[in-house]
């Protein structure tokens, strides 16, 4: 009988039992090697640098400026963003708390932040940031007001960190909101909270802080309309 015939008979005897290990042992007996015994590398065990002269590309998350869109061009930032996790956010680690906001307060930043906030944040936190008017609150999602003293006390870096990696029930949006857009959302949130300071503008050019911002009503806050 040929080897293939032997293996075929063994397979017919072993496979109905649903056992792969005995069949693998039979392969070892015939060929002297097993798929269970092969050289492998653990993640990051044998890292290799990028080939010389190669250009790193980003997945749209790292444009070169706050109002630019990355469509596959080389990564815009000069240095990589520091890695951190939800645990770092919860523990207020220095890597999170030390993040500084690179996007200046401006009308353009507020407008971009408002667009993204209404798209990604309002379903849970409400269009005013009060939490109780979030679109999914009636489904049983616990409200988290962004206008509370606690949320106002969060640093810009902490807010950015929550947007990027999430915290608690809040998922991370780092794969949906790009680096600078996260800072635009932080700026707009500061506007909603009433703590963003108006930048200095030449006389007669208008104050970007004078724009209309959704305000929470007593009903939204759960209090009496009176």
The domain spans of the chain are: 1-38, 86-200
Output the CATH code of domain 86-200: 1.10.760.10
Q: Copy the structure tokens of residue 133.
A: 């008017």
Which residue has 């109905």 as its token pair?
16
Which residue has 């090697």 as its token pair?
33
This prediction has a pTM of 0.64
> pLDDT tens track of the chain, all 226 residues?
566 565 566 555 555 444 457 777 777 788 777 767 766 777 777 777 777 877 665 556 777 788 877 776 666 665 667 889 999 999 999 999 999 999 999 999 999 999 999 999 999 999 999 888 888 888 888 888 999 999 999 999 999 999 999 998 899 999 899 899 999 999 999 999 988 765 544 444 444 444 455 555 444 443 333 3
Query: Sign of torsion, CA 154 156 161 164?
Result: positive
Nearest 5 degrees, angle CA 158-CA 163-CA 169? 100
Would you say 146 and 125 are in contact if contact means Cβ atoms under 8 Å apart? yes
Distances, alpha carbon 5 to alpha carbons 9, 17, 23, 30, 210, in Å: 6, 19, 14, 12, 85
């Amino acid at each position: 009988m040929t080897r293939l015939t032997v293996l075929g008979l063994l397979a017919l005897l072993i496979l109905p039992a649903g056992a792969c290990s005995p069949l693998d042992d039979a392969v070892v007996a015939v060929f002297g090697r097993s798929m269970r015994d092969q050289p492998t590398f653990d993640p990051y065990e044998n890292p290799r640098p990028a080939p010389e002269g190669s250009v790193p590309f980003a997945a749209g998350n790292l444009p070169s400026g706050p109002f630019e869109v990355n469509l596959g061009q080389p990564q815009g930032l000069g240095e990589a963003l520091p890695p951190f996790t939800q645990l770092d956010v919860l523990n207020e680690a220095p890597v999170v708390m030390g993040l500084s906001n690179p996007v200046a307060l401006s009308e353009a930043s507020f407008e971009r932040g408002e667009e993204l906030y209404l798209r990604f944040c309002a379903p849970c936190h409400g269009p005013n940031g009060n939490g109780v008017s979030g679109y999914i609150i009636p489904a049983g999602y616990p409200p988290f007001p962004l206008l509370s003293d606690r949320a106002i006390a969060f640093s810009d870096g902490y807010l950015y960190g929550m947007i990027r990696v999430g915290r608690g029930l809040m998922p991370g949006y780092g794969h949906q909101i790009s680096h600078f857009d996260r800072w635009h959302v932080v700026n707009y949130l500061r506007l909603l909270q009433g703590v963003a300071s108006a930048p200095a503008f030449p006389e007669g050019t208008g104050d970007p802080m004078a724009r209309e911002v959704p305000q929470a009503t007593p009903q939204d806050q759960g209090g009496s309309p009176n």
